[in-house]
Amino acid sequence: MKISVDDEELFTLSKTQKKVIMNDIHEDDFEDDMKRRLHYILMHKYEVCFDRLKHEWDPKLSLKYDTIPTDPDKYAELVFKQKDYRSRKKRDSSEKS
């Protein structure tokens, strides 16, 4: 089983590794189970990061706007449009300067 993102192969489970996992997971359910696990991991990371973003930006946005979007994507886009928003990379590089 090969795991890829944007056509870049990230890792491969060997046949033996798959068999080890299938010792616990029915082989008919294997692929769906692996997809479910990957989805969970990525969405969990997104949710944790979104919570931190919201915690940081709720007070700042409430000073500028009467209404703040409740939809997570719209909320994040509003944050990203702020002049004082800086990505992690920009924050890190400004700390080094």
- Measured distance CA(75)–CA(71) in Å, rounded: 6
Domain spans, the chain: 2-96
For 23-63, the pLDDT digits (tens) are 999 999 999 999 999 999 999 999 999 999 999 999 999 99
- Is the pLDDT assigned to residue 1 strictly greater than 90? no
pLDDT bracket for residue 97 (50, 70, 90): low
CA distance 69 to 48: 18
Q: Give, as one character, the DSSP assignment of residue 67.
A: -
Percent of the chain with pLDDT over 70: 99
